[in-house]
Structure 1
Amino acid sequence: MTNRELNLIFLPDDLWMSILARLPLKCITTSKLVCKQWKSLVESEIFRGVFLSQQQNTSSSSWSLMWRERQIEFIAQYGCDIPRSLGSYVSSFLADMSQTQKESHKLFPPREKIKTVEVVAYTNVGLILICVKSFSSDRNYYVANPLSQQTVKIPPPFSPPLAGFKREKSFRPAGLATRIKHGVVVSGYKFVCLDTRKVNKGVLSFMIYSSETNSWSFKTVLSPIPLFGFNHRNPVSLNGEIYWTAPNEGGEDDLVGHDFYSESDQYNVIPFPELNLELVERCNRACTISQGFLMYMNIISREFLEELREENRLCVWKLESHTADSGDWQLVARVLIPDGFEYIPLTIHPFDAKIAYLWKREHHSLVSVDLKNDKFVIHKELERRSDNVTIKSISYSGYEFPDPTDEIDKTYFSTFVLTPWLQRIP
């Protein structure tokens, strides 16, 4: 062995750390097999922090906007670390899982055979929640990482059954709660199920599975104000708290949230930003997570009767903080839109809060808006940028429907985000 090779081997840890952190994540994972020194470095929290600090560029971040009802990918952005979109990984993973489940149940009675395998919740930490339902409507739930193919089955609630507990089937999945630190899930995850019978009584009852304790528990939380319904089908999870929407006494939606890692027995009811009476919201409320904050956007119209004209603006707010019954919403953008009826707000870039995405009705096309300079860009079905980032929209997927605008107006979308640092499911 030459002196030059010896010098390379005995480089200081901090220098090796700086070199390894510049590699793609797949190469870093493989590097752990080279020697004990590299394995120790790569698995350290210090290295993870160095790696994540170098991955702040949005071009290296992969994410997708999923159309929940259709179980298809609406928007996708993926970088140099993965060769295809997250939605394609989800689709192939579900197809394989469905085949495996059906094979394992082919000798079962007809009612116990597998009917559907579908995603019921997406997260911003690379995990999805899957429901496997039989023809008898029995359900099993799994937490999965579609890229690593790792799957963890959630044990049935209270097996053997809890004394006096006979209402398990009234509980429906309401989301996955996770907490992240430096891009890594800490404190495991919590699978949250809601008792749909009590949502109009000012009380929310939850069954919660904790991966840390590998056990189920009950939790009942109270409302500071009355609610008149509850939309548990489109959860948004942020650092331990899950948010939903619910109509209030006046028929308007409020934002409802609860921190499932807290001891609080109240859930938070946060009114959306107050609007002047002469302003009108044109679209469904679009809530999403961007750069660690909950964001809300809508197209707001104002009529100028004397001038016989209407002004439409895309307004974006950031939830800075909240109490049990109010929120500190900061208006971060007001972009003039020539014809508000032509656009439907979809989402905000998870890693760049200055970029919003809309759907243009007339051309059935994806439009991005730079909220800083009010620049609109109509995207092609498939685009590859010079920085190795690919952007894909729904029309490229080959999915056809008679009038997408009618459905998009009424649908719900979920953002699925791949964290820069891959880890095993807790």
Structure 2
Amino acid sequence: MEKKQKNNLVLPEEALVKILARCSLRSIARFRSVCKEWKSIIDCDFFRDFYESLNSSSSSVSWSIMDNKNKTEIVGQYGCKRWGLTNSLGSYITRYNPETKVRKTSVLCCTDGLVLLYTETMEGAPMYHVGNPLLQQWVRIPFPPHLSGYDVVRLQEDENFNDSGLVTKMEKGVAVGYKVVWTLVSDVVSNELTFMIYSSETGLWITKEVRCLRSLIWSRLARSVPLNGILHWLATIDNSSIDANYVVAYDFYNGGGDECPIIPFPDIQQFQATRRFKRTMTTSAGFVVYCNVYSENNAGERGIRVWRLVSTNEHPNSWQLSWNVKTKERSALVKLEDTQV
């Protein structure tokens, strides 16, 4: 197939693919509307594979929630060059124009380029949308059929309820489906979870009951980390620690079953006494990542250790130590050990 230009020059399809693949994702999305030929090229598997091969070393195209005291930037972004942004991502969220006037807008979750958005109308009615903020494409998520808007508001007041779960189904770097996940535990200390799951593929909600192998304290249920169709939560196993010491994971696309795996943090025993900060987790390079600072000895040496989660099974090898950075002084890094396998 050849594309004729106004100057009568013939542009081979191979050349067109190479040109388009070097454009930003935002531009590529617009180019799909130029003509049927361009849309066909951009939507084909060959173009997607070629684009990924050119940008495999680039950072992710996902968004992440950023804390800002001034509330001027509610979402941060990885891979600005790939999207071709000229303004902050937060400005695109504020341009969101729902079907009715709203008094509140909150970003609940971001993953693989999609954003789960919560809004309230001027009358206080809740609404949920999933979409791409740059393309300004939003889909309103209906409530579960057994819940009214009033019921949803009551659920939000329950500290054992979380409505910020969003996972995606990826194929060749493209999000082809998503699920919105609401989580409810029966009590602050419980081994039972109830998932209410909305699927973009069916347009329906289902309810699923799952269990953990032991009771956990769900004081940090409000935040979950999505990756590869799996949600991860922080939990504590007993009242002796105010910090999380386990990660709970559930796979919503590959048959999670009736049990939630619970994975202990890698520093629970060996480095527990020397850890300096509360545990948290994030994602990096396709892995859930945990890092912390540790006191190495009485001479003031400190170490920064970074682990990545390589398995959701409960065993000592679930975490892999990727980096071990040691310092002789608080402000100077003097030794870097790359222990990545």
TM class, shorter-length: 0.7 to 0.9
Q: Percent identity?
A: 32
Q: Which residue of 1 aligns with 2:265?
A: 272
Q: 1:302 pairs with 270, 291, 296, which one?
A: 296
Alpha carbons 1:76, 1:87 under 8 Å: kept: no
Q: Which residue of 1 aligns with 2:222?
A: 233
Q: 2:88 pairs with 73, 85, 88, which one?
A: 85
- Render the CA deviation track for 1:251-277: whole Å, top value 9, x for unaligned: 352111101122511111110103425
Structure 2 residue 180 is the aligned partner of structure 1 residue 191: yes
Alpha carbons 2:61, 2:77 under 8 Å: kept: no
Q: Which residue of 2 aligns with 1:347?
A: none
Q: Which residue of 2 aligns with 1:121?
A: 109
Q: Which residue of 2 aligns with 1:420?
A: none
Deviation at 1:240, TM superposition (A): 0.9
Take 2:227 and 2:135, find their aligned partners in 1: how far apart are those partners?
23
Unaligned runs of 5+ in 1: 103-113, 344-369, 374-426
- Render the CA deviation track for 1:194-248: whole Å, top value 9, x for unaligned: 1243352210111111111111111111001221224222211011100010111
Take 2:6 and 2:109, find their aligned partners in 1: how far apart are those partners?
52
Alpha carbons 1:267, 1:324 under 8 Å: kept: no
Distance 1:39 1:101, change over 3 A: closer
Q: Which residue of 2 aligns with 1:109?
A: none
Distance 1:139 1:371, change over 3 A: farther
Q: Which residue of 2 aligns with 1:149?
A: 136
Alpha carbons 1:224, 1:325 under 8 Å: kept: no
- Render the CA deviation track for 1:291-329: whole Å, top value 9, x for unaligned: 21111111112332xxxx222111111111121566521
Q: 2:126 pairs with 134, 139, 151, which one?
A: 139
- Render the CA deviation track for 1:96-154: whole Å, top value 9, x for unaligned: 55xx643xxxxxxxxxxx5422112222x111111223688642211122111111111
CA RMSD of aligned residues (A): 3.6
Distance 1:36 1:140, change over 3 A: closer
TM-score under structure 2 length normalisation: 0.79
Take 1:218 and 1:244, find their aligned partners in 2: how far apart are those partners?
19
Distance 1:371 1:47, change over 3 A: farther
Equivalences, count: 319
Alpha carbons 1:64, 1:76 under 8 Å: kept: yes
Take 1:70 and 1:295, find their aligned partners in 2: how far apart are those partners?
28
Alpha carbons 2:264, 2:314 under 8 Å: kept: no
Alpha carbons 2:62, 2:113 under 8 Å: kept: no
Alpha carbons 2:304, 2:326 under 8 Å: kept: yes
Distance 1:60 1:277, change over 3 A: closer
- Render the CA deviation track for 1:149-182: whole Å, top value 9, x for unaligned: 1111111111587xxx9x8565430410112222
Q: Which has the higher contact order (CA 8 A, sep 6+)?
A: 1
TM-score under structure 1 length normalisation: 0.65
Q: Which residue of 1 aligns with 2:250?
A: 258
Unaligned runs of 5+ in 2: none
Structure 2 residue 162 is the aligned partner of structure 1 residue 172: yes
Take 1:3 and 1:193, find their aligned partners in 2: how far apart are those partners?
51
Q: 1:281 pairs with 265, 271, 275, which one?
A: 275
